[in-house]
Structure 1
Amino acid sequence: MKILKNIIAILIISIFTISCSHDDSPSPVPEPAPIAGSNQYYSMITSGYYHSLAIKTDGTLWSWGNNSAGQLGYTTATTNGVKYPNQIGTSTWTTIATGGSFNLAIKTDGTLWGWGINDFGNLNDVTIGPKTLPFQMGTATNWKSIAAGLSHTLAVKTDGTLWACGLNNNYQLGDGTLTTRKILTQIGTATNWKEVAAGNTFSIAIKTDGTLWKWGALQGSTMSPTQIGTATNWKYISAGDNQALAIKTDNTLWVWGNNSGGQLGDGTTNPRVDPIQLGTATWKTASSGKGTTLAVKSDGTLWSWGNGTYGQLGDGTNANNMTPHQVGTGTSWNTVYTTLQHSLGTKTDNTLYGWGNNTNSQLGDGTTQPSYNPKRI
């Protein structure tokens, strides 16, 4: 009896399997191709004056906006704005940086690449002129930190050495001269550099011992790297057009430089030669642009201050703010980046948002219309 039950069970299963394996229903209709840039999740963002650049969570590289100098990196130069994020090649990347109209990026293999405008050798190429496709800058495979100013480049290798090239009319390369360098040149002999940031005509950096350094023209002129104060607990830096900010390991935010538009957020227009602490709040990250500052507090809220002429403060207006104002009520902001006239931000779920001027489609939302509030890209 038990054997008979087993045979019946096997027959039932076989019949079910055969009936399921033969499907006369029509093949499913393929889903339409996604709109360029849709369903993209981003882990790193940055922007030039009129274009944007980002790394997706899978390591792929994307760009959109103005392409007059080939800064989008996947097509010939054109003045027409590219309205959606488009992928650059098929490689995977770890780090990106943007100047006014050029880009730097490090691949997962540690190589350094650049494209866009190259008027002063800022792309480590003596052949002056725009580079419309990414090309490898030298042969080294141990790059770890990069920064792009208006026309100069900074880079740190895994051995802690500091390198620079490009325009040097304000000592922004830090080699003690005013000589423009068209090839990456080592700055000094120190081997404990950790992170760099580049402004319009100045540079700042953090060493592995937590000390903060500056050179170039920022409320004074310094010919070579000079330590700022004596603190040894700096962990994050950002350089704007003519101002800078830094965060310490206790998550306090410090600002200095030009303050003509209230971009330092201290309620005045007084310039600051040395870093001053901004309030008593604790912060996660921040970005300094051209007279505009964005920052994310430790609680995930987004704040902005300074120049808001183009809506880049994201507060629904085009007014300026001389002190930090909260943007919306969200508590899941993760990273922010602001530049000339527009801003970008990601939330903890890696969704991407843009706001501010959009005449060159630098917001990547498919239009050329500005947005005075963060808009999902």
Structure 2
Amino acid sequence: MIMKYSRFMQGVLLSAVVMAAVSPHTLAAASTQPGDRMDSATLLSASSSAESPAASASSTAALGTAFVQVAAGNYYSVGLRADGSVWTWGRNLLGELGIPDTTAVSSMAAPVRLSTLPPLNSIATDGYGYQLGVARDGTVWEWGSRPGYVRETQVPRALPGLSGISQVTTLQKYSFGLGSDGSVKAWMRDQKRGDSGPPISVNGLKNIVQLQSASDFIYALDSAGSVWRFTVNTSENQLHLSVPVRIQGLPALKQISTQHAYDAYGVDSSGKVWKWSIQASSGTAKLYVKLVSIQPSLQVRNVYASPGYALLVTRQGEVWMYDGKPGGSAIKVKGLQRIASAAAGDTHRLAVDAKGQVYGWGANNWNEVGVPRNTGDGMEYAPVPIQRPITIRINGSLLPASFPAVNKNNSIIVPVKSVAKELGGSLEASSDQAGTTYRLQYGQTTVTFRSGSAEAAIQGRSIALSGPVSMINGAVMVPASLFKQLGCQVDWNPNLAELSIQGK
């Protein structure tokens, strides 16, 4: 793992020099942090004052489609939009994405919407396939990989016994919730069945504003800027917590990010970044640190830690990549402007700008960056915008599909089987020496077509399609306009990136 990471970092540094752009997971990057979410005022302020009234209206209409938080897991990504919807992309080999029909999808290059989730306020990931989200009513939801099961997913479901939660952080076995009153709850996840146990209160903490987790250690930042740490473990299926201890020797901080159990970062009110290491000789009663100032010339809004490096997002919206070494250096990530938040994964990273556009760079073997793999080495060395998420509504309701719609060559293509099913139709396939023929039955109408062809036959009558039939991630994709030729009403809202299909 160390060799793999070193080779990766060499590639990043080489890219930074040659191209003037930089291209195991940290829980800090994925957990909700103060400043991660952007509010409406921040998003609207990104619009140019020179915009026309029509453009301004379009920006306002599309405000809900802006991303406000991202999380970078091991080979996959999660994004939360201003409208509360959650989108996932990247690897799904272990059911990481939380979509149904898991065995049919090994990875996803475009964001797919988790349509059964209620609107959320924040998200978190353990980095290894398990996610939590806090709904607007303070309940907690889970989705992703199921422990003890291979290639099976837990579709979104609410966790019992939790309410009034504002933020969460999660490990593979344990999860923690921050109450709206500043209290902290903890609960355990059964590693055989995947069920969550009842929450218990974490005593000795109050006025907490942020939680971070790494290994079996939990860091808590209170409203006065002090950082507390405690440990968690289990025995005989019982959750055991140590007494929280305040870390001595730190300045007052406004945001923290954990790297691993003994190292962490923090940002103070002046924008200075600090890194500290817990001294191994420290006892349980008091914790002292070795404190180092990081890149003092920068005024930083937030820091996002990952093993071996950290992303620094400045107050000017720049992103710098710090190599994590004592007295180390930082490289400015070119091609990013007005960045509001970020996420630092093991091998890829994400950034959200002030308009809510997500950019990704780094390893992309599983499409975790948010675009199809375009290079031989599976790397995106410079930040690229992720594929635009597209919402599909069938007869007014969200399409519960495992596959997203995609804008391909200015034609919106959709997973035909999922759309047909919601419209009351069906799709069948038959193969011969010439290839596979698909038969779409909708009411009394029969449509046949082949993969790769831009033609179809309706009741035996040949018609031209706006683009060829294609296969993406195992799904048969057809131009949405095909359903218009079947008598459906098909509408495309470019501002909201929303496709509506009304059956006849």
Q: Are 1:325 and 2:340 counterparts?
A: no
Find the counterpart in structure 2 of residue 359 from structure 1.
365
**Distance in 2 of aligned mates of 1:184 and 1:129:** 28
CA 1:64/1:330 → structure 2, altered by over 3 Å: closer, same or farther? closer
Q: Deviations over 1:284-307 (max 9, x none)?
A: 112101222111112221100228
- Give the aligned residue type for 1:214: R
Q: 2:211 pairs with 172, 196, 201, which one?
A: 196
Q: Are 1:83 and 2:88 counterparts?
A: no
Q: Are 1:295 and 2:312 counterparts?
A: yes
Q: 1:107 pairs with 123, 131, 135, which one?
A: 135
Identity %: 21
CA 1:275/1:113 → structure 2, altered by over 3 Å: closer, same or farther? farther
- Give the aligned residue type for 1:278: I
CA 1:152/1:128 → structure 2, altered by over 3 Å: closer, same or farther? farther
Aligned 1:87-98 pairs, distance under 5 A: 87-89=113-115, 91-98=118-125
**Distance in 2 of aligned mates of 1:50 and 1:148:** 18
Find the counterpart in structure 1 of residue 199 from structure 2.
184
CA drift of 1:157 comes to 1.2
Q: 2:226 pairs with 199, 202, 211, which one?
A: 211
**Distance in 2 of aligned mates of 1:66 and 1:207:** 36
CA drift of 1:44 comes to 0.7
Q: Deviations over 1:168-220 (max 9, x none)?
A: 9xxxxxxxxxxxx9443222153322210112332211112321112349xxx
SS of the counterpart of 1:43?
A: strand
Higher relative contact order (CA 8 A, sep 6+): 2
CA drift of 1:371 comes to 0.4
Aligned 1:1-377 pairs, distance under 5 A: 41-78=66-103, 80-89=106-115, 91-99=118-126, 100-119=128-147, 131-166=153-188, 182-216=197-231, 223-229=242-248, 233-242=252-261, 243-257=263-277, 273-280=289-296, 281-306=298-323, 322-328=328-334, 330-367=336-373, 369-377=378-386
- Give the aligned residue type for 1:65: G
- Give the aligned residue type for 1:234: L
- Give the aligned residue type for 1:255: K
**Distance in 2 of aligned mates of 1:232 and 1:97:** 26
Moved more, 103-112 or 328-337: 328-337
- Give the aligned residue type for 1:50: Y
**C-alpha RMSD of matched pairs (Å):** 3.1
Find the counterpart in structure 2 of residue 310 from structure 1.
none
SS of the counterpart of 1:322?
A: coil
Find the counterpart in structure 1 of residue 397 from structure 2.
none
**Distance in 2 of aligned mates of 1:85 and 1:248:** 34
CA drift of 1:349 comes to 1.6
**Distance in 1 of aligned mates of 2:385 and 2:277:** 32
Contact 1:344 1:353 in 2 (8 A): yes
CA 1:211/1:273 → structure 2, altered by over 3 Å: closer, same or farther? closer
**Distance in 2 of aligned mates of 1:61 and 1:50:** 17
SS of the counterpart of 1:138?
A: coil
CA drift of 1:361 comes to 1.3
**Distance in 1 of aligned mates of 2:161 and 2:153:** 18
- Give the aligned residue type for 1:136: A
Contact 2:161 2:198 in 1 (8 A): no
**Distance in 2 of aligned mates of 1:141 and 1:223:** 24
CA 1:375/1:279 → structure 2, altered by over 3 Å: closer, same or farther? same
SS of the counterpart of 1:95?
A: strand
**Distance in 1 of aligned mates of 2:74 and 2:198:** 24
Contact 1:301 1:329 in 2 (8 A): no
Q: Deviations over 1:124-160 (max 9, x none)?
A: xxx9996521111123321011112354322111132
- Give the aligned residue type for 2:162: A
- Give the aligned residue type for 2:97: L
Contact 1:245 1:253 in 2 (8 A): yes
Report the structure, 1 or 2, having the larger helix content.
Answer: 2
- Give the aligned residue type for 2:219: I
Contact 1:197 1:205 in 2 (8 A): yes
Contact 1:352 1:376 in 2 (8 A): yes
- Give the aligned residue type for 1:286: V
Contact 2:98 2:144 in 1 (8 A): yes
CA drift of 1:229 comes to 2.0
**Distance in 2 of aligned mates of 1:254 and 1:144:** 26
SS of the counterpart of 1:73?
A: coil
SS of the counterpart of 2:248?
A: coil
Find the counterpart in structure 1 of residue 17 from structure 2.
none
TM-score by length of 2: 0.53
